[in-house]
Amino acid sequence: MEKKPFLSLDKAQEIIKDIPTPFHIYDEKGIRENARALNKAFSWNKGYKEYFAVKATPNPYLMKILEEEGCGMDCSSYTELMLCESCSISGENIMFSSNVTPVEDMQKAYEMGAYINLDDYTHVEFIKKILPEVPKTICCRYNPGGVFELAGSEDKVQVMDTPGDSKYGMTEEQMEKAFTELAEAGAEEFGIHAFLASNTVSNEYYPELASILFELAVRLHKKTGVKIKFINLSGGVGVDYKPEEPRTDIAYIGEGVRKKFEKILVPEGMGDIAIFTELGRYMLAPFGALVATAIHEKHIYKDYIGLDACAANLMRPAMYGSYHHITVLGKEDKPCDHKYDVTGGLCENNDKFAIDRMLPKIDIGDIIYIHDAGAHGFSMGYNYNGKLRSAEVLLKEDGSFKLIRRAETPKDYFATFDFSEFKF
């Protein structure tokens, strides 16, 4: 599908007068509409709730918008829990899905009343030791092992991931033991969680995952007798980073999960199970962009455009070779007849937002809009080469804008040093 920026050149220029590039910008209208469509797609399920994966975009303003749309938060660390606390989000509005969990993190999640999702069988003993009691409701993360594959059209594999190589979750045997021992220790209601494939653009991923987890729930219920309260389909619904990629159809996905629910759980008398999701990317990636200025051009064996943003602002292309679509604002209708590498200024040759990308002729000062940076964008930022994290801006529903996180300054970079011992 054609990829259109949610920001016009005029609006960008107005913002840049106040907030210099680079910055991340988020589209409140898009975020709300998307969250509503998700909730509608799963409205057939009484206890349905999306727990936004905070790690994707940990900004209180965006978390509050999602909370207003009925979402809870999925955290995996002490600081993410604190962030929720600062937004006065707690209790059953938090899912704590961590791994390699430190004592303090687990205790914090317990104190906040979050749903705790145990990543490993040994965590059963661990929580018995470090928490005052085993929580009444507790969740365990499942890993089926092997290879997870979904065939698409023409027998092409559409989704492939390798749970057998992934560090997360428990085997079925361990799940059974964990449920039994947790029940003996006082747990009354149980959750099941699994994350099998990341960034899937197939509408069949969630229904397929759901059927695996629903069948597991039936087996575990029969074997252990425990009450299953919720099944958490976790993250993994993807977005169309590339124009030629299909866009996932959330209404279709919700309906696909419903069919499996009716077929597998309802006949077993388990039709009261709540469905949870923990989407990050799907909730925010398309509704955020990295806005940068072209500050340098260079012609050697290839043609390069250098931006004032770099991989420290958006790491996905450098880290995973990910595609992020690029629009030169104001040149949307110009022919893409120039081939560029679009780069940042890190002393790392993988600091390239795009390689051999066909774009309109770019002039110094042009505003470059990098699409789909709203999740796993700013949040994966770092300070390599002394680069500072950028500002985050919210484009509000009424068209006005608001700074929702200021850019770092050198003072922030220096804040963790203590120079008092040096005598110069």
Ligand X SMILES: *Cc1c(COP(=O)(O)O)cnc(C)c1O
Can residue 69 be called a binding residue for ligand X (CB under 6 A)?
A: no
Confirm whether 347 is a catalytic residue.
yes
Closest C-alpha to 329, from 360, 373, 372, 307: 360
Contacting range for ligand X; rule: CB under 6 A; set: 275-283, 351-359, 386-394, 412-420? 275-283
Could you tell me which residues come within 8 angstroms of residue 97 by beta carbon, excluding any fewer than 6 positions away?
74, 75, 76, 117, 119, 141, 193, 232, 234, 278
Provide the 8-state DSSP code for 159: E
* Closest residue to ligand X in the complex (CB): 235
CB of 357 to ligand X, least distance (A): 24
Residue 52 C-alpha from the chain's centroid = 7
Give 21 or 101: the residue with its C-beta nearer to ligand X.
101
Contacting range for ligand X; rule: CB under 6 A; set: 81-89, 157-165, 231-239, 347-355? 231-239
Can residue 195 be called a binding residue for ligand X (CB under 6 A)?
A: yes
Give 199 or 224: the residue with its C-beta nearer to ligand X.
199
User: Are the C-beta atoms of 15 and 393 separated by less than 8 Å?
Assistant: yes
Give 118 or 362: the residue with its C-beta nearer to ligand X.
118
Terminal Cα distance for the chain, rounded:
60
Can residue 198 be called a binding residue for ligand X (CB under 6 A)?
A: yes
Can residue 56 be called a binding residue for ligand X (CB under 6 A)?
A: yes
CB of 7 to ligand X, least distance (A): 23
CB of 235 to ligand X, least distance (A): 2
Closest C-alpha to 142, from 97, 106, 104: 97
Can residue 314 be called a binding residue for ligand X (CB under 6 A)?
A: no
Can residue 286 be called a binding residue for ligand X (CB under 6 A)?
A: no
Give 58 or 344: the residue with its C-beta nearer to ligand X.
58
Residues 354-383 as x/- pattern, contact with ligand X by CB under 6 A:
---------------------x--------
Contacting range for ligand X; rule: CB under 6 A; set: 194-202, 209-217, 305-313, 392-400? 194-202
Can residue 191 be called a binding residue for ligand X (CB under 6 A)?
A: no
CB of 231 to ligand X, least distance (A): 14
State the catalytic residue, choosing from 71, 87, 336, 347. 347
Q: For 370, list phi and psi in degrees, rounded to 5.
A: -100, 115
CB of 412 to ligand X, least distance (A): 26
Can residue 235 be called a binding residue for ligand X (CB under 6 A)?
A: yes
Give the one residue of 53, 73, 391, 393 binding ligand X; rule: CB under 6 A.
53
CA distances from 35 to 62, 89, 221 (A): 12, 18, 32
Give 117 or 390: the residue with its C-beta nearer to ligand X.
117
Closest C-alpha to 54, from 43, 45, 68, 64: 64
Instruction: Give me the amino acid identity at 271.
Output: G
Instruction: Give me the amino acid identity at 49.
Output: K
CB of 343 to ligand X, least distance (A): 26
Site for ligand X in 98-157 (CB under 6 A): none
> Which DSSP string corresponds to 54-116?
GGG---HHHHHHHHHTT-EEEE-SHHHHHHHHHTT--GGGEEEE-SS--HHHHHHHHHTTPEE
Under the phi-then-psi rule, with left for phi > 0, alpha for psi from -120 to 50, and beta for the rest, what region is 371?
A: beta
Give 55 or 221: the residue with its C-beta nearer to ligand X.
55
User: Are the C-beta atoms of 325 and 5 separated by less than 8 Å?
Assistant: no
Can residue 97 be called a binding residue for ligand X (CB under 6 A)?
A: yes
Contacting range for ligand X; rule: CB under 6 A; set: 10-18, 174-182, 248-256, 272-280? 272-280
Closest C-alpha to 200, from 258, 143, 259, 149: 149
Closest C-alpha to 105, from 126, 86, 133: 126
Can residue 279 be called a binding residue for ligand X (CB under 6 A)?
A: yes
Beta strands in 267-366 (DSSP E): 274-277, 288-299, 303-307, 326-328, 338-343, 352-359
Residue 258 DSSP SS3: helix
Can residue 15 be called a binding residue for ligand X (CB under 6 A)?
A: no
CB of 105 to ligand X, least distance (A): 14
Give the one residue of 26, 96, 179, 282 binding ligand X; rule: CB under 6 A.
282
Can residue 34 be called a binding residue for ligand X (CB under 6 A)?
A: no
Instruction: Tell me the catalytic residues.
Output: 347
| Site residues (vs ligand X, CB under 6 A) | 53, 55-56, 74, 97, 195, 198-199, 234-236, 278-282, 375
